[in-house]
């Protein structure tokens, strides 16, 4: 059997990182088994659609490198097209497909017309709530003779079509994550399959689409587990092969509650905006709920494909540990191509006011040197402005009392005068020539070690610790470095 999986989001807003993880597990499983990964857009709930949500989804999966084999894609001209032979892959373009299957279920006695008004259903819900009992539909129209129901339909009476769920039937689910799960149909009610506006509900459309698209494995969040008995019953009623299921654990926040927007960043766009690298976010998300054999955590996509197995996916929710994500992203930043990181740094440099749009091209090398020097300390690229700040201006601001003590040491003024002269005489003013200036300063002033290097760092940057001092001075440039020495001598030394 050829593996076919699908990711079927609704275009109702931002792409949640939980959705990206589901898409990722779909992708990893399909690729491991030489199968196909399908993207299907479930947009039949027209009241919740968000403009440009589909475009945002396309951007998110493309950015993350979790691209599907079939479904909607943007072509080179930026137009939305659909790849694959089992489309359309946008549900609103498939509306003509569902009604025959609804009618088939009605004729076979597996579904029925329901004429209950909204007022009656609301009253029933309130009555059940007051009694503290299951608030599902009470089957009021369940046993209406089919011919009588058809006459009412032909007369123009408003109706929906409901599933006639078997009573007290045990449904066994052999879940790839949770193992054997047993549920009873008495815990569900007669689900609406066709709404009054003629649109299928999710529960009807998803079964038809998955069958017609040949989906063999359904990978989705655990919130869909209660709906699975109804889906399995529908497969049986229609005489179709039931796919395998994998219900994934929720992604939790630090308080072990389901991650939601009120807890901070939860969308792919949030992390992209902050300057996380996609390969870091994908690597991290893979491990929120899945633990491969061994202790390897940093993995390429190919390595994750090779190692992935639902046997190693946890039944309990995985905690979204931002500190671990930041550690992982820092690892990828340290390994990343410098030109790529520099391009990523540009918008933050402009937004912070350290560069203008017009000045970007002329300062790419300068910015790249700062990025390279700072990458060891960056958790995500939006932090780059505080590192650029170190190289802006001719004044020095001391960061703390320790810095103040260092720059007020007795030997500092004379040492700085010698250093300034040596910097002025340096030839190329790269890190190597700056290092020579320090050796000459040490020889002439007699100051060495911490008293030379740490005091100079404070005099030029205001900081006791930081990146390589020779590189800092080289990036500052001869004139700025000399002016900072003068500022310190005049304002900060005793």
d(CA 382, CA 276): 8
The contacts of residue 164 (CB under 8 Å, 6+ apart) are 109, 110, 111, 112, 142, 190
Where do the H-state alpha helices sit in 65-168?
95-107, 118-131, 146-154
> Tokens at residue 233, please?
């019953």
Shortest CA distance to 232 belongs to which of 176, 163, 143, 177?
163
Termini Cα distance of the chain: 81
The DSSP letter of residue 226 is G
d(CA 37, CA 84): 11
The contacts of residue 114 (CB under 8 Å, 6+ apart) are 137, 140, 141, 159, 160, 161, 162, 190, 192
d(CA 474, CA 464): 18
Report yes or no: 296 and 309 within 8 Å, Cβ to Cβ. no
| Torsion region of 218: left, alpha or beta (phi above 0 gives left; psi -120 to 50 gives alpha) | beta
The contacts of residue 219 (CB under 8 Å, 6+ apart) are 5, 22, 25, 26, 29, 246, 248
d(CA 334, CA 329): 9
d(CA 426, CA 182): 79
Map residue 172 onto helix, strand or coil. strand
d(CA 139, CA 212): 30
User: Which residues are designated catalytic?
Assistant: 261
> Tokens at residue 285, please?
């998300």
Q: What is the DSSP string of 53-86?
A: HHHHHHHHHHHHT---SBEEEE-TTS-EEEESSS
Shortest CA distance to 69 belongs to which of 39, 40, 28?
39
How far does CA 347 lie from the centroid of its chain?
21
The DSSP letter of residue 41 is B
**∠447-490-429 over CA atoms, to 5°?**
55
184 forms bridges with which residues in the sheet?
170
């Amino acid at each position: 059997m050829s593996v076919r999986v699908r990711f079927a989001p609704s275009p109702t807003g931002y792409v949640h990182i939980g959705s990206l993880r589901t898409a990722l597990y779909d992708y990893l499983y399909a690729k491991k088994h030489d199968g196909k990964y399908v993207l299907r857009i479930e947009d039949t709930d027209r009241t919740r659609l968000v403009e440009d949500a589909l475009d945002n989804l396309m951007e998110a999966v493309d950015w993350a490198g979790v691209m599907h084999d079939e479904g909607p894609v943007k072509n080179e001209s930026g137009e939305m097209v659909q790849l694959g032979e089992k489309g359309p892959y946008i549900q609103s373009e498939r509306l003509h497909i569902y009604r025959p299957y609804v009618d088939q279920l009605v004729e076979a006695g597996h579904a029925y017309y329901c004429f209950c008004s909204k007022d009656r259903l609301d009253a029933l819900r309130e009555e059940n709530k007051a009694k503290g009992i299951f608030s599902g539909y009470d089957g009021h129209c369940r046993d209406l003779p089919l011919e009588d129901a058809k006459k009412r339909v032909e007369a123009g009476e408003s109706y929906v079509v409901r599933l006639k769920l078997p009573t007290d039937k045990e449904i066994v689910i052999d879940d790839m994550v949770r193992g054997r799960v047993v549920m009873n149909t008495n815990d569900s009610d007669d689900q609406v399959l066709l709404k009054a506006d003629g649109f299928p509900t999710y529960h009807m459309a998803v079964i038809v689409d998955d069958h017609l698209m040949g989906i063999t494995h359904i990978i989705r969040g655990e919130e869909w587990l209660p709906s699975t008995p109804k889906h399995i019953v529908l497969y049986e009623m229609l005489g179709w092969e039931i796919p395998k299921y994998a219900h994934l654990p929720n992604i939790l926040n630090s308080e072990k509650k389901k991650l939601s927007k009120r807890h901070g960043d939860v969308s792919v766009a949030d992390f992209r905006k902050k300057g996380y690298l996609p390969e870091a976010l994908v690597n991290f998300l893979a491990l929120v709920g899945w633990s491969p054999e061994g202790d390897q955590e940093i993995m390429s996509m190919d390595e994750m494909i090779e190692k992935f197995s639902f046997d190693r996916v946890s039944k309990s929710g995985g905690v979204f540990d931002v500190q671990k994500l930041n550690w992982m992203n820092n690892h990828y930043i340290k390994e990343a191509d410098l030109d790529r990181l520099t391009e990523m740094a540009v918008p933050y440099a402009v937004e912070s006011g350290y560069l203008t749009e017009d000045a970007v091209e002329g300062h790419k090398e300068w910015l790249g040197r700062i990025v390279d020097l700072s990458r060891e300390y960056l958790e995500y690229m939006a932090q780059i402005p505080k590192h650029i700040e170190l190289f802006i201006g001719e004044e020095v601001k001391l960061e703390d009392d320790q810095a103040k003590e260092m720059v007020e040491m007795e030997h500092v003024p004379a040492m700085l005068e010698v250093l300034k002269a040596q910097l002025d005489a340096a030839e190329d003013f790269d890190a190597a020539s700056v290092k020579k200036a320090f050796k000459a300063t040490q020889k002439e002033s007699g100051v060495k070690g911490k008293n030379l290097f740490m005091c100079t760092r404070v005099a030029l940057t205001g900081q006791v610790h930081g990146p390589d001092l020779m590189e800092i001075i080289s990036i500052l440039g001869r004139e700025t470095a000399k002016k900072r020495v003068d500022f310190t001598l005049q304002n900060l030394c005793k």
